[in-house]
Structure 1
Amino acid sequence: MRFLFVHGTGVRRERHDMLFALVRDRLTARFPGAVVDSCFWGERFGAALSAQGRSVPGLGADGAAPGADEEEIAEWGLLVADPLCELRVLAEAGWEAGWESGSDGRPDGDPYDPGDPGAPGDPYDPDGDGFAMPGVQSAGDRVLDLLAAVSGVPDGGEQAALLRGTGLAAGFPAALETVSRSAEAARAGARATGEAQARELAKVLARAVTAAALASAGAEADCTGTERDRLVELITARLGGDARVPGARAAAVLGRLAMRVTTQPLLNAWRGSLTVGATPALGDILRYQARGADLRAFLHERITAEPGPTVLIGHSLGGIALVDLLALAAARGEPVPGVELLVTVGSQAPFLHELGALAGIVPGTKLPYAFPRWLNVYDRQDVLSYLAEPVFPGDPRVSDQEIGSRQPFPACHSAYWKQDSLYARIERAVAEAEIG
């Protein structure tokens, strides 16, 4: 009996040798008399950047510091992911300390900017009252009342046109309700005691509503940054604020955080290196979809180079290529000689069949008559592994086996090979197939 291991996407010589040594040792321990071979195809049929990546914007960039656009994109990335995040900063931190001078339109060093806006005598907040009477509505509460009075999409005007033209109209009423009824808005409103604070609160609320509408629309949003900013301005004005005045407390915290936790700044800075690094894994798949016949011919040659019976073990893309090869050969009435069992591990073949993207099987059809037994091993944490039995219902040749590595993705995609349960299940499948 012979085992032939076919590696997956992105594997090159050093990685292949390590994986194959592991597989060979585990298989020979259970099948002492078996021959265990490998089919290394990564360098011959894998992908490479033929123009050294010159198609990639930013490849070889000098790593300059991010500009204002990158920071703004990062902030909005964080806001769309969590529309209430800026409100949460104001709700928890307030304005009592660390309020940056000059951030609300006052000149730096102004004597009435001591970090306590709204103090008595503040010329930028003539209504500020450090001794406000109980029961008197605060400036922040007035802003929240104005927000609560905004009802859905207006019948006409610039704001209505913007909402409808950007695809945000459908989700706008729910976005208003989510923000206005949030505990974060209530707490931030309670802490906004002065008019300058209320103006910032109005802007933050407008940004939260806009972000919530963008999040609701998702990929269906047709909204440029200019349109988004204009919508914020219009909503802010309705709440008594001025969106053109830079934010202070929330912006100072969220701006720095956004550059650390959102992916876009990293993608912008590292796009070149990320593309080069991802080329073997992603590129192998794309290359196979376009020119898979060459790899399948190579696999056929390696399989038939030695007499059977043969057990084929394909990982990831290796499993896809084997399913295609065996199905195409069986459909022609020329099954690959000697193949008694196919084992796919962490494979996308069933999913590609559902998409109609397998070369060997027409969508909606069954496996060809001469297709061998098929053991499909998956880990539900491995997002690159899929079920075969439900895709080929009632076919006694096809069986799924779940294995859990207790590892998250992507580590679980390669963790199969160290698990005894994998080799025990292969041993059982060999016995069931009566392969001698």
Structure 2
Amino acid sequence: MRFLFVHGTGVRRERHDTLFTLVRERLTARFPGAAVDSCYWGDRFGATLGAGGRSVPGLRPRPGTGPDALAVPDAPYPGAPGPGAQGADLPHPDLPHPDLPHPGILHPDLLTDPVDAETAEWALLVADPLCELRVLAETGWETGLGWDTEPGDGDDGFAMPGVQPAGARVLALLDGLPARPGDGDELGLLLRDTGLTDGYPAALETTARSAEARRAGERAAEEPQARELATALARAVIAAALAAAGAEAYCTGAERDRVVELLTNRLGGDARVPGARAAAVLGRLALRVTTQPLLNAWRGSLTVGATPALGDVLRYQARGRDLRAFLHAEIAAVPGPVVLIGHSLGGIALVDLLALAAARGEPVPGAELLVTVGSQAPFLHELGALTALAPGAKLPYGFPRWLNVYDRQDVLSYLAGPVFPGDTRVTDHEITSRQPFPACHSAYWKQDSLYERIEQAVAEAEIG
């Protein structure tokens, strides 16, 4: 038996190699005798911005560069820092920025789901890693005299002159953390395994040097406040690292929480107890804000970041025949049964290939099972935009069993079963990584439940 992995949008050689190594290790652990191959197509069939992105509002040419140079995103809103910068001057977190559209309201049913609430909080943290610290910096903590408004307010008269607030100790510990934990350190190992190693040093420095951290540290006078500060600092660092990695972060919610816990412990806090004041404000705001204001505000930056990811899909829709021919050749190159695993656009191309071949009465040799992960093929079919099938058409005779894996937080994943009702070959399976988009789009490959379900599908198909 052979597995053939087909990667998705925006993947190029370095990222492919990292991802495929992970997939191969997990599959060979469950199928020791199977061959696990990959079909890398990013360099040959992927998209590039031929004019440097000059068609996108919000982008401007790099100074002194030629016409083919990639354009630079403008600041997301007036007064914001440039690409990659953190700590923009935003108003109080309970209020929308005056230059951004008013936030939408999520459906009330979402407010009762703790997983959705947690994911919404992390989505907001990834968008603005310092927002939780900004709450503490602006509002402080509740004292016996009411809300503290300035460092030293609410002094009970017994504090020792010249004694630093407890928050200063937490900030000193943050300053002393190594930028790159050693490989023998659990924190270092987790950062490496989740794809956060490269962004971690800058995230650490940016958080430690931020005015928000300094101000919140000044307000954290007592030990309980210092522990909450430690949690907020750790979450800010990891959110910044996740933001830097984007979809290249292979990080589940459990791994993210463990990294935060390890980092919080080194700052003298306890990550298992969320910060009461900051978490309350952040949670309310996170559940009010939809993604649309962020998309409007960061259009230029998002377009540059989404290319080649978005471009790969559009290029495939226009010129997908060559990629399908390439995939067919790779599948047929080795005789015997093959399990095809397609991520995102890889799943679209495989559905098209298998359906077109079956419709011609020439099923792809050896293709016994199709597994799509975080794929848009069902949605494209519903739109009438799937190359292989006319709108409303059924899967042809000869199409193999199809296991479709999705995550509700992954906006690029869709259900296949309801689009092909009554087709017993099609099965949907839900997975949750407890991560917001886009991290959840890559987090499938760290989930044991994915490989357990593939193992079950292989057994059901009696592939040996």
> Which residue does 1:332 correspond to in 2?
360
SS of alignment partner, residue 417 of structure 2:
coil
Question: CA-to-partner distance for each residue in 1:203-256, whole Å, 9 max, x for gaps?
Answer: xxxxxxxxxxxxxxxxxxxxxxxxxxxxxxxxxxxxxxxxxxxxxxxxxxxxxx
Which residue, 287, 297, 303 being the options, matches 2:325? 297
Please report how far the alpha carbon of residue 264 of structure 1 lies from its aligned counterpart in structure 2 after TM superposition.
Answer: 8.2
CA offsets 1:142-162 (integer angstroms, 9 cap, x no match): xxxxxxxxxxxxxxxxxxxxx
Counterpart residue identity of residue 13, structure 2: R
Tell me which residue corresponds to 1:4.
4
> Are 1:326 and 1:335, in contact at CA under 8 Å, matched by a contact in 2?
yes
Corresponding residue number in structure 2 for 1:378: 406
Give the residue type in structure 2 aligned to 1:421.
S
Structure 1 residue 340, shift from structure 2 partner: 0.3
1:70, 1:265 within 8 Å by CA — same for their partners in 2?
no
Provide the residue aligned with 2:418 in structure 1: 390
Q: What does residue 423 of structure 1 align with?
A: 451
Q: Quote the residue 1:233 is aligned against.
A: none
Does the residue aligned with 2:419 lie in a helix, a strand or coil?
coil
Unmatched segments (≥5 aa) in structure 1: 84-260
- Over 3 Å counting, the alpha-carbon distance change for 1:345 and 1:263 in structure 2 is closer
Compared with structure 1, are the counterparts of its residues 337 and 266 closer, same or farther at alpha carbon in structure 2 (3 Å cutoff)? Answer: same
Is this contact kept in 1: 2:60–2:73, CA < 8 A?
no
1-side partners of 2:378 and 2:293: how far apart?
33
Secondary structure of the equivalent of 1:53? coil
Runs (5+) with no aligned partner, structure 2: 64-71, 81-95, 106-291
Deviations 1:299-340 (A, max 9, x none): 001111111200000000000000000000000111100100
SS in structure 2 at match of 1:390: helix
1:265-298 deviation line (CA, Å, top 9, x unaligned): 9547xx2x54332211100011011111111111
**Other structure's SS at 2:308 match:** helix
Secondary structure of the structure 2 residue equivalent to 1:421:
helix
Q: Secondary structure at the match of 2:3?
A: strand
Q: TM-score, normalised by structure 2?
A: 0.51
Residue 15 to residue 366, structure 1, CA distance change in 2 (3 Å): same
Contact 2:340 2:370 in 1 (8 A): yes
**SS where residue 341 of structure 1 aligns?**
strand
1:77 Cα deviation (Å)? 4.9
Larger radius of gyration: 1
Residues 73 and 304 in structure 2, CA contact (< 8 A), matched pair in contact too: no
After superposition, where does 1:53-64 map in structure 2 within 5 Å?
A: 53-57=53-57, 58-60=59-61
Look up the match of 2:336.
Answer: 308
Alpha-carbon deviation of 1:54?
Answer: 3.8
Q: TM-score by structure 1 length?
A: 0.54
CA deviations on 1:366-394 (whole Å, 9 max, x unpaired) are 10000000000111111111111111111
Q: How does 1:97-176 map to 2 (within 5 A)?
A: none
How big is the shift at 1:262?
Answer: 6.3
Could you tell me which residue of structure 2 aligns to residue 361 of structure 1? 389
* Post-superposition offset of 1:411: 1.0
| Whole-angstrom CA distance in 2 between matches of 1:384 and 1:378 | 9
Does the alignment pair 1:352 with 2:380? yes
Q: Counterpart in 2 of 1:207?
A: none
CA deviation vs aligned residue, 1:98-147 (integer Å, no higher than 9, x gap): xxxxxxxxxxxxxxxxxxxxxxxxxxxxxxxxxxxxxxxxxxxxxxxxxx
Partner of 2:397: helix, strand, or coil?
coil
- The secondary structure found in structure 2 opposite 1:396 is coil
Residues 6 and 39, structure 1, Cα contact 8 Å, conserved in 2: yes
Is the contact made by 1:77 and 1:262 (CA closer than 8 Å) also made in structure 2? Answer: no
Q: 1:53 to 1:418 in 2, by over 3 A?
A: same
Structure 2: distance between partners of 1:65 and 1:389: 42
Instruction: Name the CA distance, whole Å, in 2 between partners of 1:365 and 1:434.
Output: 28
Q: Say whether the 8 Å CA contact 2:12–2:42 is kept in structure 1.
A: yes
Distance (whole Å) between structure 1 residues aligned to residue 462 and residue 399 of structure 2: 16
Partner letter of residue 32 of structure 1? Answer: P
Q: Evaluate the alpha carbon distance shift between residue 36 and residue 79 of structure 1 in structure 2; reply closer, same or farther with a 3 A threshold.
A: closer
Give the count of matched residue pairs. Answer: 254
8 A contact 1:6–1:313 mirrored in 2:
yes
1:427 is matched by which residue type in structure 2? E
